[in-house]
Chain A
Amino acid sequence: MSDERFTLSCPASDPVLNDRVVLAHGEGGRLLRRLIRDELLPRLGNERLNLLGDAAVVPLGDSPVAMTTDSFVVSPLFFPGGDIGSLAVYGTINDLAVAGARPRWISLAIILEEGLPVATLQRVLDSVAHAAQRTHVQIVTGDTKVVPRGAADGLFLTTTGVGEIVAPCPPGPLALAPGDALLVSGPLGRHGMAVLTCREGIEFEQPILSDSGSLIEVVAALRESGVAVRAMRDATRGGLAAVLHEWAEASGRTMLIEEPQLPITPEVRGACELLGLDAVHVACEGVLVAAVPGEAASVAVTALREVDTARGAAVIGCVQQRGLAPVVVRRAVGQLIPLDEPLGAPLPRIC
């Protein structure tokens, strides 16, 4: 074929101004970060909000308290391994626990869609009560609103959590140093895949159960091990990758993970392979990510594995001087490959 008949047409479009919120804004990746940076912080920012922590530590008399807030819009309301009610409680207290606080009080706001069966509301509230009882937190105030059919999807929850700071409190990602070990407390990606496979009607021989649960005991075990924890986070939206990107940005270091060491259940791996997702980008709701001094890694992992929900704890990598990318992964071939931030994967409304 000659060049006259075959010319390259230029395929691109005009860049379109992003003047609308799209679902991808809500998925915890770069788009959300940009929305926060460009729209929220310039208007609302202050020395505490600007830290963008899971919880803010605020002075209150002599003893500082940690405060956090969260909304829950998961669809479906009930999924294998959990439901929106227990998720709201665990999600809130986990944000407090990883900030070094003992969760004490929760406020609960409920938005109900006209037509929701009262039985559904009852199931959700029972689940809230059960989770609060298990984790020794009190629901101390609340609010209920009803909106017309179509203005919400069944039921949305919003919580605020308050907890007391328990010493010693990890200094946070600024303290990350080369040689520190990176740990996770359990298998990755279970919550996101449980909700996604349930919602899309994708069935496996072994159903994937969400890991939605409390991290209070996990954090306590780590604290009591005496290990000088540098930083802790719960890996929620955007998964492990989102946490590591935040730490890399805050510390100016590179986070290196070793792919063969990542704990991932066969069911989650299978579902990820099928759907073309990477488990490091998929949300957890009961997995702690921690950085500890390298020499303390085995003590920390041993302490974590004592806790029922952290039997799958593992060292997954280490902190290095900033190299070619903020987060890198080593796979079987051996090269260090940059690991991108999660971005607009089609996983809306998982929490």
Chain B
Amino acid sequence: MKYVDEFRAAQPCQSLLAEIRRQCTQRWTIMEVCGGQTHGLLRHGIDQELAGCVELIHGPGCPVCVTPLEAIDRAIDLARRPEVELVSFGDMLRVPGSRGSLLQARAEGARVGLVYSPLQAVQRAVEHPQRQVVFFAVGFETTAPATALAVQQAARLGLDNFSLLVAHVRVQPAMELLASDPHNRVQGFLAAGHVCTVAGHQSYESLVQRFRLPVVVTGFEPVDLLSGILECVRQLEQGKARVTNCYQRSVAAAGNPRAQELVEAVYEVCDAPWRGLGVIPSGGLRLRNACRDFDAVARFDRAHLPVIETPSCRAGEVLMGRIKPTACECFGRSCTPETPLGAPMVSDEGACAAYFRYAGPAAR
């Protein structure tokens, strides 16, 4: 298959692995920011192949994982209202809040639906005018344009039964927070290709200037990941730090201006709570005043809900790259994909799920 096979082929992978090993005069610590990259690395065993020369640390780039507990609780609370249908992406439905997940709420009678696109949620509102359709809008810069489009479409259609529960987050403030952490071990970043496709990579220049860490934009296939690691290692070996785009087939320096305009029109930057990391300055998006009609929290006047957390789960440290998932006492024991204690065990982008799935029983 075009654009897939050539980026998974054995021969280029082996040459890239050999070149990375040849370049390394010491063991470098590199963070792959996005959970999709973590899954790619583990799925193909790249972490094992490079164990001697590169330590790969997973970053916080799993949107489902960082969605705060109170947002999930609020979603469940809304879904239990008789007039509401709460819809979101599949992963989000499985993440536990403090009193179960949306899927469990559905089994108990709440109206919860799965969609592949926010526009499907708008369509659901058109088809069911008697229902209040609430879309649980989660994700990074990658999904925000689509949810912004959904708001614009709902406005155009004059829908008064569609609203958003917004928990959008922005990746760069989280990277800056990690880099400024006194415990930081990360020497270089593999920036998330999908986020950069929308947001571009020019904004990383300031991060590179400030922290002197290489930022290399990479994709998700083995050849993409290995090319990115090689570029990062080259810079580190030469004592350089710059922004490099190793995912040029998808990412332009300025990103996707049309998508950015959409986000800009509907959302504004705000400080936002991240599950596991606390409030990150400028770390999220909220609806602009002009779009407040579509804010589910305002529409349904939800007060603050108390949240209950389990002290044993160490997802915060996992999301920061401070520990590997396997170092958590719960990993593979009380915490598995069927009975997740924390969000990283749930999502297809979660670091704990990646280690559980690809590292095998030996790691558990």
- Which A residues are closer than 8 A to B by beta carbons? 1-3, 6-16, 18, 20-24, 30-31, 34, 200, 202, 266, 269-270, 273, 275-276, 324-326, 328, 331-338, 340, 343-344, 346
Contacts and interface: CB of A to CB of B under 8 A. Distances in A.
B272 to A, nearest CB: 13
B97 A13 contact: yes
27 contacts: A1-B180, A8-B278, A10-B310, A10-B316, A11-B342, A11-B343, A12-B309, A12-B310, A13-B96, A13-B98, A13-B100, A14-B98, A14-B99, A16-B96, A269-B4, A273-B1, A325-B360, A333-B44, A333-B49, A334-B10, A334-B13, A335-B48, A335-B49, A337-B43, A340-B357, A344-B338, A346-B114
A337 B310 contact: no
A16 B100 contact: yes
Given A12-B312, A275-B116, 11 more contacts: A8-B277, A9-B277, A9-B278, A10-B313, A11-B319, A270-B1, A332-B8, A333-B17, A343-B338, A344-B338, A346-B90
Given A12-B309, A23-B103, A335-B48, A6 B177 contact: yes
Interface in B64-88: 68-69
Contact of B309 (A2, A13, A21, A332): A13
B346 to A, nearest CB: 10
Contacts of A18: 104, 339
Contact of B44 (A15, A24, A276, A335): A335
Nearest to A270: B1
Contacts, number: 161
Contacts of B107: 20-23
State which size class the interface on B falls in. 35 or more
A12 B116 CA distance: 26
A9 B338 contact: no
B278 A331 contact: no
A237 B99 CA distance: 30
A6 to B, nearest CB: 6
Contacts of A326: 361
Contact of B310 (A13, A200, A202): A13
Given A270-B1, A333-B17, A337-B45, A11 B360 contact: no
Contacts of A324: 360-362
B286 interface: no
Given A21-B107, A338-B358, A10 B338 contact: no
Contacts of B315: 10-12
A126 B81 CA distance: 44
B261 interface: no
Nearest to B356: A340
A15 B45 contact: no
Contacts of A13: 69, 96-100, 308-310, 341-342
Contacts of B145: none
Contacts of B116: 200, 202, 275
B177 A1 contact: yes
B213 to A, nearest CB: 15
- Of all A-B residue pairs in the complex, the 9 with the closest CB atoms, nearest first, are A335-B45, A12-B313, A8-B316, A338-B360, A20-B107, A16-B100, A332-B10, A12-B310, A11-B276
A20 B276 CA distance: 28
